[in-house]
Structure 1
Amino acid sequence: MEAMQQFASTADAENPGRQLNGKPQAGAARRALGDIGNLGNTLAQKVQGGKDGEKGRTGVLTRRAAAQLMAVGGPTNDSQGTDSWGTRPRASLRPRDGNVPVVSSAAPAPPIEAMAELRRASLGPHIDDADKNDPLAACPFIPHMMSFYKRTEPKVRVADNYMSNQCDINDKMRAILIDWLVDVHIKFKLMPETLYLTVNLIDRFLEAKQVTRKHLQLVGVTAMLVASKYEEIWAPEVRDFVYISDRAYNRDQILNMEKIMLNVLRFNLTVPTHLHFMQRFLKAAGVAENQEIVAYATYLVELALPDYSMLKFNYSKIAASAVSAACSAYGRDPVPRALLRHSGYNEPSLRDCVDALDLLYSKAPTASLTAVYKKFSAEKYHNVANRDVPTRLSDAHMDA
């Protein structure tokens, strides 16, 4: 009983408009939706502007009041006053005055951008400016591609002494295999990219797995088969490689070696080769349109393919040295500024590689392996293998 009385007294305190019996007091009738939740007349009083004893309702502009305000020049219901709900309109998002600075397209460039423009101007025209409107040149992507090649090159480079881990083959057998594959490459009329990728696959496979001399040629034809599938539009069939190897291996052996090779290499076929760098460096040197210089540089690079001692140089260094030596042989600037900038090498760092290419060039006519020499003695390649050059390419290279 005491609990009920306490609850009733609490309810009366929260609802002063009620009596103890729970009925509303006289004269305190609640308006519909104006007193929901037994909150009394607080919300209604706010809308009406106070208690019943006050005159009018604040915030509501009647027709008579508006006429009086107009007569005395007071504020009306415009943007400077309040609206019919007694609230001020939202402030405009526009600037309050005209002193806000406006950036003009003709404004001078910031100092950093101006310095960048001066630096680009000092470097001269970009080597891709002539091809920027050619969609096949992919000029916007070339910097990213070359950056990828330079980052990837050390990862796919083989050790220059990996042959020491082989028990049954040596560097001379490797040279014979690659020299034969050059002839196979010509016979099948394959793309240049296929030959360079073939040599890369052979070296990476021999570095990772021991091979007997009986299966060395099988590794070579399988590497060319994989490279052809990767680079060519119409790759030679397996039976073509069976025939070209004089049926030393059958179809099943080649396909089985293909699976082994791809698993050993973890299907990593997207690798930079000499050709990727050489094409870029020829363009940087400004001789990409000179077919004789291109053929000469290509000849030097392909002379390096069978030679095991050239593995001590990066592909990019061999390519840069070949381009530099080719420019020197044809009376061009051997070390153009753009070539050094795009290759990342300086002039002294290329000397040892140029010396090695010079030695290969001088020995080529009398060497026992002549596939590359015969290839570049043809008119198709401007007979660059028989061109008269200085006794020492490196001397002409550095003295120019």
Structure 2
Amino acid sequence: MVRGPGTLLWLLPVLLAAVAGAEPKAYEGYAPCEMWMFPKTYFHAVTCRGFARVLMDTDEAEAMNMEIDRLLTDAHGTLANKPCLKVKTFFYDNTSLLFLKHNTEGNDLSYWITPKLEPSNEFIEFPDDSQWKSLGYKGYSPETFNGMSTEEKKTAICDPEIATYNAVEKLFHFAGKRIDMDGKELGGESLHRLNADGSCNADYELTRIDVTRQSKRLVSGIKEEILDSWRVPKSMSKKREYVVFNEAYNGYILFSLQSVNNPKQYYLLANSKADKNILDGWDVCFLRDYRVDLDELPEPYMLPESAEYKLRQTVLHYHANHAKYDDYYAKYDDYFNYYRRAFDVIYTVLNNHHVAFNVYYAAFNNHRTDFYGHEDFDVYASQIYHENNENKGAFDHRTQNYWEGRNDWYPHCCCTNGW
């Protein structure tokens, strides 16, 4: 199925269907991710007091997780007296993340943008309240929000956990509201609409906007954001205790699932594909089991060191491309054998004709007087001469095409896919 500019992906059912029949291999049936897919990429493991930033360029996911655990353990001890926050993680730019602080108890909604993140493994703690910028709104549960008056709802946000941030437009999407970085409510419709009577639901679509997939259409506002968003439909959103949609970036999806063995435990899966425009197969792999004992939240984010680094294609497509490579290799090997056999045949034919021509030419010389000007001999000698040239020309042409084909194929197969 082609995901063109006008196509809205209803994502999660495809993902869950793809992994439902997975063979038990590693964690609850999911094989560990192969880390070569994340060149120069940092994983951000978020707790209620800060986040660990760790380079994903390791041999195995387990090595990355050990480094994360080390940083989280150290921070858990030194920051134990700091407030434990509830946050959501968003992309801000190629070197910074944005954290939205929220709850549903009537507290202020505010955000903090990290300084430029350095290329190093470290734990970065959240700053004190003075460095979080207030949006001027307070978060409430759907039940509380739906019981408010119209006036009260003007500064209230229903269910802020569903919030989405658009890093290109620099605005937040809440239920029924689009709000800029200064807390100003903007016109247009939010990705999360209120009901006609002004009430909100508890089953909104979980949505993420992929900043690497910006629509080229000459439209603005909500239309453009819909085109660039990945969404979970209401049928799955009703199971929000089961799934957390964390990230859509460069064709990669991060989502957290609730453990079937422990409802308080979540683990992280990565899902990806080679071409951001083609939905021809999903490759889901296990990245991390959250450390709830260290106050880790299911709010991770992975980000390349800079925009020049791209997340690589999946194991699924990697092996598919290698199968294609092997197929090409076998095909050209067959071509080589074919032309080698053709060469043998043509050489034999040419040689036979050459021998025959020499025999007749010798006979002609030996019996020049008898055969000179003989019509049959002249025709046959001319025929042999032309057949020699035609066969040699055909052989040269096929050989040239073969080698040109190999020269075109080799750089294409070995460079464009990063092998």
- Which of the two has higher C-alpha Rg? 1
- What TM-score do the two structures reach when normalised by structure 1? 0.22
Judging by fraction of residues, say which structure has more helix. 1
- What TM-score do the two structures reach when normalised by structure 2? 0.21
- Higher RCO (CA 8 Å, separation ≥ 6 residues): 2
